Chains A and B, each alone.
Chain A
Amino acid sequence: MKTSLAVWKFASCDGCQLTLLDCEDELLPLTERITIAHFLEADSSTVEGPYDVSLVEGSVTTEADVARIGRIRENSKVLVSIGACATAGGVQALRNLGDINEFASIVYARPDYIDTLATSTPIASHVEVDYELHGCPIDKGQLLEFLGALLTGRKPRLPAHSVCFECKASGTTCLMVAEGRPCLGPVTRAGCGAICPRYSRGCFGCFGPAPGANTPALRHQLTQLGMPAVHQDRVLRTFTPEAYDDAST
């Protein structure tokens, strides 16, 4: 019996579900083990639940979606939220730090036509989530490792350490130590393979905080490197706007 997989979208850019289609070499072999039962971006036929595994992309931003995620939970044996929107509210959670009415009035001439909640919240704020894959977007290798683990019945290896570990493992020179450049690597969850430092760029936190992240200590270091507090706030509050605040309290 093949494992049935459903893919769902809430407020998001489609990038995390696209990651599944970006598994070009593995996609067709995967379908020998997995039935894609519901994945509207990729297939117009859908199979009724219940589903063995649901991957949920995007954050909850409307009343209708609050109800929809409840129904998906009831219909899914394993529910996995994928990506920064689903795990932390995403870039659209910047509204949580501002005024939704002001946001709507800036974008729309008739904000009254727009149906939205004042907040953008992660899936786990609404229903019980079995696993979370972090990242903006999620990493393809990690998604394959995760699906492989589920198919073979073992526990998936999901990193709980920081990007610094991946940098060290790949032999990348530390930008902060060697060049005095700001980097969120010490407080950011691993999983991307430490791409940015390999491209001569400090980590900008798109996987959100690592468990136990010591954000105040990093802020102190960023201040030492001459980064004003307002810039620190911006870089920490972008793709997972509230997560670093939570991690450091």
Chain B
Amino acid sequence: MTHRHDRLLHVAALARVEGEGAMRVRVTGDTVTEVQLDIYEPPRFFEALLRGRGHTEPPDITSRICGICPVAYQMSACAAIEDACGITVDSGIQDLRRLLYCGEWISSHALHIYLLHAPDFLGYSGAVDMARDQRPVVERGLRLKQAGNMIMERLGGRAIHPVNVRIGGFHRLPTRTELDSLVAPLTRALDDALDTVTMAAGFDFPEYECRHEWLALVDPRQRYPIDGGVPHTSQGSFPLREYTSHVVEHQVSHSTALHARLADGSRPLTGPLARYALNHDRLSPLARQTARSAGLDSVCRNPFRSIIVRAVETVYAVEEALRIIASYEPPPRPAVPVPPVAAIGYGATEAPRGVLFHSYTLDDSGTVLAANIVPPTAQNQTAMEHDLRGFVQDHLTLDDHSLTHACEQAIRNYDPCISCSTHFLDLTVERG
């Protein structure tokens, strides 16, 4: 190590994340004195532009916040507006929503595992570079991602910004043939997902333990949380309508994304580690057994190992999709009518990166008077900054190049979706 007093590391653009941002770490002597995650993604003002729109519009408009998890936005928006209007959808519609969401989980997790994160562990700059030596591995990842996308294409019309979702349900119900056509690719995807867990479990993980407060939904239907649930931390649950009093956002000067703290001042962590910690007993027997074989206990506090949890969740999502397809009974109608009511509604679902909260204030004609959207990456920003501080502090002996690379990897653990939180990362480590 270089014990020089002033150190400055700089990565102008952190790659393999979704969106744009920068990272600044200042090290003075042997102490990390400053860590800033600067999300410089230009703001797109979604909450403002939703004002004056009709209550049927937020699912389509908010899906454009993120091309990687549009279903999450559609589902949270539907949940919030249906809550405002006092509507509960038919159980068959709920199952189809969960199926669509499984498609997004499979696709998004496979994208993150194979294209964004695994190259870090295997020493490649990206999946194309990796494919030169390990083509079957990359092909497996792409095939898994494709299986997820096929669900979204059949049921949603297309994989990015699906068109078939509406408040109350769907525009058109899938035919039995459309759903059955998914069984063969999903059956293959289950093998691919199991192999993915084995691959991820074999990576070398840096030693690091995070101490953040878990934040995830717990589904009262005793299922692993995807399409809804009650917000929980390890302290207990709180009502969804009180979300923003428990998860408090504040603005910092260095980022266009808002930061969040829990009301008691602790740092929330949402996403795979939190979901797993609060819900691992609700995984399917196969997914639980896979997690155990991969060396996961009931709680995993090493964010670098989140790639294993994502792989386990992918196994679950593939199985769940197959289960929903096998037991699917078409609902009586594609959508339940949702007449507008002057009210405030709240909705939250588990985006692949964590809890995505929406609330809408409607007038009696259904016009949106106010919208509030709290995306996972914004909630995780404080925890990400904290991990970087801790990780850099523990690894000051690394040279600048290795430390910078490790920081990028630490950020990628979170699969930060920066387009969501306002979206790309740019890394500076200053040793000053």
Report which of A11, A24, A92 forms a contact with B149, defined as CB distance below 8 A: A24
Q: Is the CB of B128 within 8 A of A62?
A: no
Instruction: Kindly report which residue of chain B lies nearest to residue A110, judged by CB atoms.
Output: B251
Whether A36 touches B43, Cβ cut-off 8 Å, given contacts A13-B419, A137-B160, is no
B14 surroundings in chain A (CB, below 8 A): 44
Whether A198 touches B42, Cβ cut-off 8 Å, given contacts A28-B128, A36-B128, is no
B129 surroundings in chain A (CB, below 8 A): 43, 45
B17 surroundings in chain A (CB, below 8 A): 41
Rounded to whole Å, the gap between the CB of A2 and the closest CB of chain B is 12
Assembled-state Cα–Cα distance A14/B420 (Å)? 10
Q: Is the CB of A95 within 8 A of B49?
A: yes
Assembled-state Cα–Cα distance A91/B65 (Å)? 9
Instruction: Give A164-185 as 1s and 0s: 1 = Cβ < 8 Å from B's Cβ atoms.
Output: 0000000000000000000000
Q: Is the CB of B45 within 8 A of A92?
A: yes
Question: Which of these binds chain B: A71-79, A98-106, A144-152, A209-217?
Answer: A98-106
B15 within 8 A of A: yes
Q: Is the CB of B423 within 8 A of A14?
A: yes
Q: Is the CB of B48 within 8 A of A107?
A: yes
Question: Which of these binds chain B: A48-56, A121-129, A199-207, A218-226?
Answer: A199-207
Assembled-state Cα–Cα distance A10/B172 (Å)? 34
A residues 1-27 touching B (CB-CB < 8 Å): 9-19, 21-22, 24-25, 27
Q: Is the CB of B128 within 8 A of A136?
A: no
Report which of B15, B61, B127, B251 forms a contact with A108, defined as CB distance below 8 A: B251
Whether A28 touches B139, Cβ cut-off 8 Å, given contacts A21-B115, A103-B45, A110-B251, is yes
Assembled-state Cα–Cα distance A224/B362 (Å)? 28
Q: Is the CB of A199 within 8 A of B157?
A: yes
Report which of B13, B19, B45, B158 forms a contact with A95, defined as CB distance below 8 A: B45
Q: Is the CB of A13 within 8 A of B51?
A: no
Whether A12 touches B419, Cβ cut-off 8 Å, given contacts A92-B44, A137-B160, is yes
Report which of A14, A36, A94, A113 forms a contact with B18, defined as CB distance below 8 A: A14
Q: Is the CB of A239 within 8 A of B67?
A: no
B residues 390-432 touching A (CB-CB < 8 Å): 408, 419, 423-424
Whether A106 touches B128, Cβ cut-off 8 Å, given contacts A28-B135, A231-B54, is no
A201 surroundings in chain B (CB, below 8 A): 163-164, 166, 171-172
Report which of B44, B126, B135, B160 forms a contact with A91, defined as CB distance below 8 A: B44
Instruction: Give B226-248 as 1s and 0s: 1 = Cβ < 8 Å from A's Cβ atoms.
Output: 00000000000000000000000
Assembled-state Cα–Cα distance A216/B149 (Å)? 37
B54 surroundings in chain A (CB, below 8 A): 231, 234
Instruction: Give B368-402 as 1s and 0s: 1 = Cβ < 8 Å from A's Cβ atoms.
Output: 00000000000000000000000000000000000
Chain A interface, number of residues (Cβ within 8 angstroms)? 64
Instruction: Kindly report which residue of chain A lies nearest to residue B158, judged by CB atoms.
Output: A195
B172 surroundings in chain A (CB, below 8 A): 199-201
Instruction: Give B326-341 as 1s and 0s: 1 = Cβ < 8 Å from A's Cβ atoms.
Output: 0000000010000000
Chain B interface, number of residues (Cβ within 8 angstroms)? 66
B20 surroundings in chain A (CB, below 8 A): 9
Instruction: Kindly report which residue of chain B lies nearest to residue A30, judged by CB atoms.
Output: B128
Q: Is the CB of B44 within 8 A of A195?
A: no
Rounded to whole Å, the gap between the CB of A228 and the closest CB of chain B is 11
Question: Which of these binds chain A: B140-148, B263-271, B288-296, B347-355?
Answer: B140-148
Q: Is the CB of A113 within 8 A of B45?
A: no
Assembled-state Cα–Cα distance A1/B424 (Å)? 31
Q: Is the CB of A14 within 8 A of B128?
A: no
Whether A137 touches B171, Cβ cut-off 8 Å, given contacts A14-B68, A91-B61, A92-B49, is no
A238 within 8 A of B: yes
A160 within 8 A of B: no
Assembled-state Cα–Cα distance A120/B49 (Å)? 13
Q: Is the CB of B70 within 8 A of A41?
A: no
B364 within 8 A of A: no
A21 surroundings in chain B (CB, below 8 A): 111, 115, 145
Q: Is the CB of B49 within 8 A of A11?
A: no
A61 within 8 A of B: yes
A98 surroundings in chain B (CB, below 8 A): 48-49
Whether A14 touches B67, Cβ cut-off 8 Å, given contacts A21-B111, A40-B13, A44-B126, is yes
B305 within 8 A of A: no
Assembled-state Cα–Cα distance A155/B66 (Å)? 32
B216 within 8 A of A: no
Whether A42 touches B115, Cβ cut-off 8 Å, given contacts A13-B65, A18-B67, A24-B149, is yes
Q: Is the CB of A107 within 8 A of B43?
A: yes
B125 within 8 A of A: yes
Whether A41 touches B16, Cβ cut-off 8 Å, given contacts A21-B115, A28-B131, A110-B251, is yes
B166 surroundings in chain A (CB, below 8 A): 201
A31 surroundings in chain B (CB, below 8 A): 128, 131
Assembled-state Cα–Cα distance A107/B375 (Å)? 13
A196 within 8 A of B: yes
B10 within 8 A of A: no
Q: Is the CB of A41 within 8 A of B18?
A: yes
Assembled-state Cα–Cα distance A10/B139 (Å)? 29
Whether A195 touches B127, Cβ cut-off 8 Å, given contacts A40-B424, A114-B256, is no
Whether A13 touches B423, Cβ cut-off 8 Å, given contacts A28-B135, A114-B43, is yes
B2 within 8 A of A: no
Report which of B15, B61, B160, B419 forms a contact with A43, defined as CB distance below 8 A: B15
Whether A199 touches B171, Cβ cut-off 8 Å, given contacts A91-B49, A104-B45, is yes
Q: List 17 A-B contacts (CB under 8 A).
A: A11-B41, A13-B65, A14-B19, A18-B67, A21-B111, A25-B146, A28-B131, A39-B126, A44-B408, A62-B42, A95-B45, A102-B48, A104-B45, A115-B42, A137-B67, A200-B172, A200-B334
Please provide the 4 A-B residue pairs with the shortest distance between their CB atoms, ordered closest to farther: A15-B67, A43-B126, A44-B15, A45-B125
Given A18-B160, A24-B149, 10 extra CB contacts under 8 A: A11-B41, A28-B131, A40-B13, A44-B125, A44-B126, A103-B48, A120-B44, A199-B172, A200-B172, A206-B161
